[in-house]
Amino acid sequence: MIGLFTADEVRAAEAPLLAATPPGTLMQRAATGLATVCARLLGSTYGRRVVLLVGGGNNGGDALFAGASLAGRGARVTAVLLDPQRAHPAGLAALRRAGGRVAAAGDRGTDQLIARADLVLDGMLGIGGRGGLRPDAAELTRAAAEGAGITVAVDVPSGVDASTGAVDGVAFPAMHTVTFGAVKRGLVVGEGRGHAGRVHLVDIGLAPHLPPPGVRQLTDPDAAARLEPPSAGDDKYSQGVVGVVAGSATYPGAGVLCTGAALRTRPGLVRYAGAAAEGVRAAWPEAIVTAGRPGEAGRVQAWVVGPGMGTDDAARDVLAEVLATDVPVLVDADALTLLAREPGLVRRRSAPTVLTPHDREFERFGAPVGADRIGAARRLAAELGAVVLLKGDGTVVADPDGTAFVNGTGTADLATAGTGDVLSGIAGALLATGLPAAEAAAVAAHLHGRTGQLAARRGPLIAGDLVRRLPEAVGRVRGIPVDGLGDSGA
């Protein structure tokens, strides 16, 4: 797993390393890694135009030393200084010795210089930056956004809160972020995720000094380890039985999608109970379907309740019946609306519960998400004693004990009707296998995002595309080629 850290955690880890190494060692490690990534992005460095946007302090020093390295390889490097009096003196001297040029923000022709650059390197603010950009930094950011060059941020894009991903106004639009020592949380969650682009981690020796991460991100191998294939001794009951309560007679789609996603995630058995029974039975003869109440469906190891089932008194009674069971329950969509009115239904549970709100559904529990998405999910999880899967770009999963995950997969194409029903089906199937609730939710988000990425390759996706491509996504996460569903045409 990838550990995700706050700015304070990174600074605390740097302190003993700075004390144990000669002055400037960490900066040279960072600048060398930064220059290596930039050279790789450029393809060749000789004659390429590179502009450094340089603030004061160590972040600007990293940019200047990296610029000196690129100039030494034949690049035409110009540093635009926000405050010439505060520029890192050793970095500035190194750049000049390598043949780099220096200009000041506001000088005539700066915008044109940035517009013509092959690469623009953002070293204006570091991980300690707070609040919005000053007008001169905002103007340089605007010029970089309008230019055609590759945009690269040093450690964290200027204007992004390194710990939360919050953006107050303007932030540097990086296509790539080269971060040092540890991945900062703000690069993978909230608005910061959209400004960071692809994140490259440079090892500067911090790992032994970092605390155990309270927030992590799964990789494909992490997810694969929790998607165990059936063994020779398994049967349909030993692999997990998931129950689904979703959809209505008028709107069966949520039930069809949720049930299909649960089936495709490969539990041993899926039982459906609800008013969309006719539609679910027609779509998925593999499921055991009843039009009755959940208690009539038979024994399950986990329930999914809520998508498309309505919010009337009858739906409330069904929700209460499911939450009264002693098995894990995933609560989504309409059931979240009901639960926000009566949160005691989940607080009284001893078995695990997973709630899957998007931002508007989250707000019904009393407060908006705000800029700190990890903090918000953690607070609601602790308040209700349930795992919270806060959906969005960089989905956050928070356990009541404070452990959290930020999802690293997905695509904006998933913002379409029905995809949340698919996510619920995946997560319910994983809960039924016995995975801890927070891990089941995190793996479901990872697999859902991977499936969306595969489906989006063929053009605009609909929720049904996710159900169809789930087997391929599972295979790819496991690193196993899927016959007949390979790369051709994907």
- Specify whether the CB–CB gap between 5 and 182 falls below 8 A: yes
Is 165 flagged in the annotation as binding? no
Is 334 flagged in the annotation as binding? no
Is 308 flagged in the annotation as binding? yes
Is 60 flagged in the annotation as binding? yes
Is 59 flagged in the annotation as binding? yes
Contacts of 195 (CB under 8 A, 6+ apart): 153, 157, 159, 160, 167, 171, 172, 173, 174
Nearest to 414 by CA among 449, 363, 374, 438: 449
Nearest to 334 by CA among 317, 312, 367, 349: 312
Is 268 flagged in the annotation as binding? no
Is 391 flagged in the annotation as binding? yes
Is 127 flagged in the annotation as binding? yes
- Angstrom distances, CA of residue 462 to CA of 314, 391, 414, 465: 30, 18, 8, 6
Is 254 flagged in the annotation as binding? yes
Q: 3-class secondary structure for the chain?
A: CEEEECHHHHHHHHHHHHHHCCCCHHHHHHHHHHHHHHHHHHCCCCCCEEEEEECCHHHHHHHHHHHHHHHHCCCEEEEEECCCCCCCHHHHHHHHHCCCEEEECCCCCHHHHHHCCCEEEEECCCCCCCCCCCHHHHHHHHHHHHCCCEEEEECCCCCECCCCCCECCCCCCCCEEEEECCEEHHHCCHHHHHHHCEEEEECCCCHHHCCCCCEEECCHHHHHCCCCCCCCCCCCCCCCEEEEECCCCCCCHHHHHHHHHHHHCCCCEEEEECCCHHHHHHHCCCCEEECCCHHHCCCCCEEEECCCCCCCHHHHHHHHHHHCCCCCEEECCHHHHHHHHCCHHHHCCCCCEEECCCHHHHHCCCCCCCCCHHHHHHHHHHHHCCEEEECCCCCEEECCCCCEEECCCCCHHHCCCCHHHHHHHHHHHHHHCCCCHHHHHHHHHHHHHHHHHHHHCCCCCCHHHHHHHHHHHHHHHHCCCCCCCCCCCC
Is 393 flagged in the annotation as binding? yes
Is 83 flagged in the annotation as binding? no
One-letter amino acid identity for 357? Answer: P
Give first-to-last CA distance, the chain, whole Å: 27
Is 55 flagged in the annotation as binding? no
Q: Residue holding tokens 């390197």?
A: 121
Is 421 flagged in the annotation as binding? yes
Burial of 484 (0-12, 13-18, 19+ CB in 10 A): exposed
Is 61 flagged in the annotation as binding? yes
Is 129 flagged in the annotation as binding? yes
Query: What residue numbers does the annotated binding site for K(+) cover?
Result: 59, 122, 158
Query: What residue numbers does the annotated binding site for AMP cover?
Result: 391-395, 420
Query: What residue numbers does the annotated binding site cover?
Result: 58-62, 122, 126-132, 155, 158, 254, 308, 358, 391-395, 420-421
Query: What residue numbers does the annotated binding site for (6S)-NADPHX cover?
Result: 58-62, 126-132, 155, 254, 308, 358, 421
